[in-house]
Structure 1
Amino acid sequence: MARRRGGGPKKVTNFIVPDLKITPRTGGYARGQDGFEQILRSALTLLVDQGASALTLRRIATESGMNVGSLNYYFKSKDDLIRELLNAVISSYEEAFDEIIHEPGASAEARLENLVELILEDITTKKTTRFFPELWAMANHDGFVHDRMNELYERARVSLNELIAEINPSLSGEAREILALFISASMEGMTVFAGYEKPWAARMPVLQALAKKSFIELVKNLRSEDLKVE
């Protein structure tokens, strides 16, 4: 949950997106919830600390304190595990985004600013700086990961699209999609320059201010015809 300095309703500061939001298992699988969560957290730790090459079922099992046979009780394949890991990651972002875009009493512009600040602050964390580039690299050579990454980013852009529609309702649906993609890509690109331990990390507050100002002006003033979109 967002932590707000001084109790103000419109300023989000020191926000850290939870690493994972894991949906509780039901029925006969409920008893294995702890093991299920431990495996996903171990997979995340390996990916962040050691990279994609460490993401094998044997390494994940060892990190989880179990053997491969036990791990296979929870996940039949590495693809199943990656699907659940990505779903848990993006669900944590969706929950955080939803809290911001439905902030009571805040204007759409203020909520967009808060969303931008949240994303750029999150980019400065070790988890985010390392996790996503590893997935980008995997997606270049693994069709399954490629498709899951596309799904992940499509879900992440839903909140941006919703705020764009509020701020500039005259934009067509396709124009909103393109603009949401542009804003998302612009922020994601900061990972390699101002992420955790990157050369421009100390200047992230300045980059945040620039991003908020420029994105708000762009969303307010863009017209569908500017993009040659009907």
Structure 2
Amino acid sequence: MPTISQTPGKPNRLGEATRAKIIDAAIAVLAENGFADFTMQAVASRADVVYGNLTHHYPSRDKLIEAMLEAILERYGARFDAFAASLDNTDASQVRKLVTWLIDDSVDPETAPVFLELWAMSTHNPMVADGLAALYDGAVESCMRSLGVLPQSPKARRLRDTLYLLGTVLEGSSSIFYNRTRSGEIYEGFRREAIEILVTVLEQRLAEAKDETP
């Protein structure tokens, strides 16, 4: 069987494509099967690669989870940062836009199943727990900057704390509403109240953070 030669110093593009395919398959298996049934065999089958090819790139389940986690957090972080960068901190409606986007995203079928499984994994896997914590820390700072506030500002402490509160609401809404049946009216009521309450509190905290008095 012929082999593929690689020029020294050149990236192995075939290997990169295979790894990307494996990671995409791993994310799909996690979302559809859950972390309890997240197996190397299932990922290899979903990626349509032989098991030996999978283990060549990711020798263990932990290595595969590590690479998958990195990809998920990088993709979601970039997606969120792009949204945060689109906010105009001179726009009076920016807080409402931020809260609405985050609440809607928490039940988005493209992201919610994956993050629900990651949170389940985090209770037993410190690497996943640390990755999710870093994602939220970065998201809070990104939110603050998009609102025109320096994260290290002493006056921004309560704004930062309230953004973490928003994070707990988002994760709770994913857990309660994503897989719930007959939740239309209940969810819409929750969504309406959450937006109104959180926007009011965040606008107050933002005003405090931007207050120029000593």
Sort the TM-score into its range (normalised by shorter chain): 0.7 to 0.9
* Residue 191 in structure 1 maps to residue 179 in structure 2: no
Instruction: Pick one of 201, 204, 208 that aligns with 1:218.
Output: 201
Between 110-119 and 168-177, report the one with greater CA deviation: 168-177
Residue equivalent to 1:117: 100
**How far apart are 1:39 and its partner, in Å?**
0.8
| 1:41-62 deviation line (CA, Å, top 9, x unaligned) | 1111111111112222222112
- Unmatched 5+ stretches in structure 1: 1-25, 225-230
> Unaligned regions of 5+ residues in structure 2, if any?
1-8, 210-214
Kept in 2, the 8 Å contact 1:135–1:145? The answer is yes
- Whether 1:44 aligns to 2:27 is yes
Question: How far apart in 2 are the matches of 1:153 and 1:31?
Answer: 34
Determine whether 1:126 maps to 2:114: no
Question: Whole-Å Cα distance in 1 between the matches of residues 137 and 153 of structure 2?
Answer: 22
Q: Distance in 2 between matches of 1:66 and 1:30?
A: 16
Q: Is structure 2 residue 47 aligned with structure 1 residue 64?
A: yes
Cα 1:204–1:96 shift into 2, 3 Å: farther
**CA RMSD of superposed structures (Å):** 3.1
- In structure 1, what is the Cα distance between the partners aligned to 2:150 and 2:132? 28
Q: CA shift at 1:138, angstroms?
A: 1.5
Q: Distance in 2 between matches of 1:202 and 1:76?
A: 47
Offset of 1:171 from its aligned partner? 5.7
TM-score normalised to the size of structure 2? 0.75
Quote the Cα distance in structure 2 between the aligned partners of 1:59 and 1:165: 45
Distance change (3 Å), C-alpha of 1:98 and 1:110: farther
Query: Scaled by the length of structure 1, what TM-score is found?
Result: 0.71
* 8 Å CA contact 1:43, 1:60 repeated in 2: yes
Identity of aligned residues (%): 20
Rg: which structure is higher? Answer: 2
User: For residues 1-230 of structure 1, what are the structure 2 equivalents within 5 Å?
Assistant: 27-103=10-86, 107=90, 109-163=92-146, 166=149, 172-222=155-205
